[in-house]
Amino acid sequence: MIFETHAHYDDEKFDKDREELLGSMKENGIEYIINCCAAVEDIEKTVQLMETYDFLYGAVGVHPDDAEKMSPQVLEKIEKLCGHPKTAAIGEIGLDYYWHKEAEVQNLQKTWFRKQMELARKEQLPFLVHSREAARDTLEIVREFMKAGMYGGIIHCFSYGKEIAREYLDMGLLLGIGGVVTFKNAKKLKEVVEYAPLEQLVLETDSPYLAPEPNRGKRNSSLNLPYVAEAIGEIKGITAQEVVKVTNKNAKKLFNIPN
């Protein structure tokens, strides 16, 4: 069975058929789903989902896109939610310099990234990192926290090259691999997948975004994960079943969900 480590089923793109879609996961081989908070105003929606579906756990946190909306009150809310029995991680947190070029905003992102990493340590939870066009700063912050002790984490939708991958792998972190690995032009990511040990990869979709081939451009869902497993298997010269089995085990270990 597949472990989906990163989806956003609270997104409005699922408003019309969320129940039906999530209700069909188990019969389609999806065992567990981590739903990740992103926007400040949507945190409650993830809580609702994790309280409705037994197979769905939550990552609580605020995306770098919302750094300007962060406040000590929101951080306090996230901290309270860490005590929820279905909270499995802090996420998604990190840096996004693709959409945010202003130094002032980037500094705010760093501040709230650090504060949420501190929370992950304090609450003994793994962290889920979003990093886009911010390779050096993300690495610096993650390294700083890992040195002083953390409970593991995933670099989600990994988009950098082998050199950066090696840094994270050496720290014992996992790389989240999704639909991009099926794209013809994803040479850099395919190299990373070939290089990284299977024991340090996990499957993810980032639904509703980044649907894999042959559904590229459509709304994504965890039901597309077999295409991702297939692509990873092809690169590594193993079966998709082996990819599913090992990545499931990796995720359960990280999120502390018994087999």
Shortest separation between residue 23's beta carbon and Zn ion, angstroms: 22
Shortest separation between residue 38's beta carbon and Zn ion, angstroms: 6
Binding site for Zn ion (CB under 5 A): 206
Measured from the CB atom, the residue of 44 and 194 that comes closer to Zn ion is: 44
Measured from the CB atom, the residue of 144 and 211 that comes closer to Zn ion is: 211
Task: Report the residue number whose CB is nearest to Zn ion.
Answer: 206
Do 118 and 143 contact (CB within 8 A), yes or no? no
Measured from the CB atom, the residue of 196 and 210 that comes closer to Zn ion is: 210
Shortest separation between residue 149's beta carbon and Zn ion, angstroms: 26
Measured from the CB atom, the residue of 65 and 206 that comes closer to Zn ion is: 206
Residue 185's alpha-carbon distances to 81, 133, 188, 191, 192, in angstroms, are 40, 18, 8, 12, 14
Measured from the CB atom, the residue of 206 and 230 that comes closer to Zn ion is: 206
Measured from the CB atom, the residue of 94 and 152 that comes closer to Zn ion is: 94
Shortest separation between residue 91's beta carbon and Zn ion, angstroms: 8
Shortest separation between residue 130's beta carbon and Zn ion, angstroms: 6
Shortest separation between residue 258's beta carbon and Zn ion, angstroms: 26
